[in-house]
Structure 1
């Protein structure tokens, strides 16, 4: 049972950081926060994503490109211009690495005002740090299953480890593939974005892609009465606490 809880905590905390900090803050600047909180969420994102940490700067650039070129050949991660899920994510990885390492200079509209803490990114992205996170996950599983034989643990749970290692890309693959292939559309966005309502409980609002592409600055990704964006109440709570400041339209 302890490993199931660990897996769910890793899944949802990592996903929250991607949705709240990387997506809504870094890419879309839906709200403001001071430098202390920005650095706090950099660190918190690293803790939660662990071995699959994503740079807010590189993520924001790619995501802005995705909106500008949605489902066209220039989209960095459209399922409609790649052979399958894996080729889509490999293409995304290559473009991400080019921007992370500054090998490509993005257009100003894609890089303007993105958060950038390059020294921290270089530390968090280092192979030594990523491998250390991976070894920590393995150690926890070995101790739980094979050494202490904790109640509710089973050998098949070792198969969860690859998801721990690649948690950020796993989330990205689900959102970018499902959110542009399966579901329904509330709006005609001149792309193939969809709302995958029945999967969204797994993705904290990120699969309301059709709504989001129509209203990219709207912090609540749900539009219809039957839709619910689980991240939005947390955004409202952080706004009420003064940690962030939502922008007015």
Structure 2
């Protein structure tokens, strides 16, 4: 079915750029790239994330705060201080907006070396653009959907980024397995990550937040890292060797 193919492709493309650019590049600086390629990936994030597009600058700060204050009241998206998933979504949204709009004071150490393109975010990150993307998605569904129930995927398409973030931030701090027992509640949510480009290995990532390859065990496979290796090979990015291939 065409609409399901569209939904699956949207999931994987939008999540890849969120993982690659927002998480591994902006928040953790696992590799470097030129300012020109940085702008290319800004645009790629906007095209694939659409109505869910968020600022890499604000996300980078918020995620660094998550690692600094994991599972405490200062954690901007810990599920342990929200009664349900909807309240966690609201809390995450409010914390993100506070950072993006400058209403939340963030220490300078969490702002270091973040990608910044304010003029692009001005046009890509506003309600008019989100509504426009919503109209585009509705048009796509009207052309591709062959049954009424397929329109049930439309709200998920509108909120794709929030859905993906919730899958990791809620699930991976409540359910799964641990390779490393630490002070936080991070879990690996899939032994073979076929859904999240390697982001399912959340426990591994919290143990080694600067390591580019989230896979640790023999059966784990970080497809996001393999894509990073390919982009490194063709000189689009430059992996930091001590972070890319750090031994455990």
On whether the aligned pair clears a TM of 0.5, the verdict is yes
- TM-score bracket, normalised by the shorter chain, equals over 0.9
What does residue 53 of structure 1 align with? 53
Correspondence list, 1:170-209, <5 A: 170-198=163-191, 200-209=193-202
Contact conserved, 2:49 with 2:160, CA < 8 A, in 1? yes
Distance 1:42 1:116 in 2: 10
Secondary structure (helix, strand or coil) at the match of 2:81 reads: coil
Contact conserved, 1:79 with 1:176, CA < 8 A, in 2? yes
What does residue 220 of structure 1 align with? 213
Q: How far 1:159 moved relative to its partner?
A: 0.6
Correspondence list, 1:123-202, <5 A: 123-145=123-145, 153-198=146-191, 200-202=193-195
Q: Give TM-score, length-normalised by structure 1.
A: 0.95
Q: Give TM-score, length-normalised by structure 2.
A: 0.95
What does residue 41 of structure 2 align with? 41
Q: How far 1:104 moved relative to its partner?
A: 2.0
Q: How far 1:142 moved relative to its partner?
A: 1.3
RMSD: 1.1
Distance 2:90 2:227 in 1: 32
Unaligned runs of 5+ residues in structure 1 are 146-152
Correspondence list, 1:7-26, <5 A: 7-26=7-26
Contact conserved, 2:232 with 2:238, CA < 8 A, in 1? yes
Q: How many residues end up aligned between the 2 structures?
A: 242
What does residue 150 of structure 1 align with? none
Any runs of at least 4 consecutive aligned residues in structure 1 with deviations exceeding 2 A, and if so which? Answer: none
Contact conserved, 1:20 with 1:231, CA < 8 A, in 2? yes
Q: How far 1:226 moved relative to its partner?
A: 0.9
Contact conserved, 1:78 with 1:177, CA < 8 A, in 2? yes
Unaligned runs of 5+ residues in structure 2 are 243-248
Distance 1:12 1:226 in 2: 21
Q: How far 1:198 moved relative to its partner?
A: 5.0
Secondary structure (helix, strand or coil) at the match of 1:191 reads: coil
Q: How far 1:157 moved relative to its partner?
A: 0.5
Contact conserved, 2:26 with 2:57, CA < 8 A, in 1? yes
Once the two structures are superposed, what CA deviation does each residue of 1:59-98 show, in whole Å capped at 9, x if it has no partner?
1011000000111111111111111111111111111001
